[in-house]
Amino acid sequence: MIDKQAREVGKVVDISVTIKECLVDKVIVGTGSALKKNYFAVVSEEIAEIGDYMQLTLDEVGIEGKGKVDKIEQLPLEGDLLKKFIGKEVLSEDAMVIGKVEDMLIDPKGCLIHNVVISTGSAFRKKNLMVSDDDIKYIGDYVILEMNKDSVETLLGV
């Protein structure tokens, strides 16, 4: 993560996402050493560009005004942390286990989540399935897809 003068200001630690709206709420940035970590959050309007690095529209003064905290839990976040979503069990609409959430594909320009990557099968027969946000019916303790197990198996080529 770099500021608008191209100085490194920290590393992306996590992302707060509003799952039901498929939207990135905030990006959490960690600064400091392993022993003394501080965190601050930036919203999509404060992100200028995303490539190999994420560049902010803020300068050093703007970043200092963000109010750093010692723990991520102290940040005012509206969404859930991405790390809590990764690994959630995914079920078909007929209540069959499909796999687990492995990743999310986020559009850097609109900060929208367009696709969710689901890992299926055992470690040796593992396959990945990519579903769009339209294929997701419910998100709670589990992720429930808008398709039955037969439809999922057809997509996987099983």
Looking at mean pLDDT, say which of 40-49, 108-117, 121-130 comes out highest: 40-49
Residue 71 in any domain: the answer is yes
Angle at 74 between CA 37 and CA 6, to 5 degrees: 50
34 pLDDT exceeds 70?
yes
Q: Is it the case that residue 158 has pLDDT exceeding 70?
A: no
Rounded to two decimals, what is the model's pTM?
A: 0.74
pLDDT in tens, 62-77: 999 888 999 999 998 8
DSSP summary character for residue 19 = G
Within a domain: 2: no
DSSP string, 44-95: GGGEEEESSSEEES--HHHHHTT--BSSGGGS--SSEEHHHHTT-EEE-TTS
Residue 4, in any domain of the structure: no
- Could you tell me if residue 6 is inside a domain? no
Q: State pLDDT tens for residues 86-105.
A: 999 999 999 999 999 999 88
The mean pLDDT of 124-137, rounded to a whole number, is 87
Q: Which of 37, 42, 36, 39 is nearest to 59 (CA)?
A: 42
The CA distance from 101 to 98, in Å, is 10
Question: Which structural domain range is residue 18 located in?
Answer: 11-81
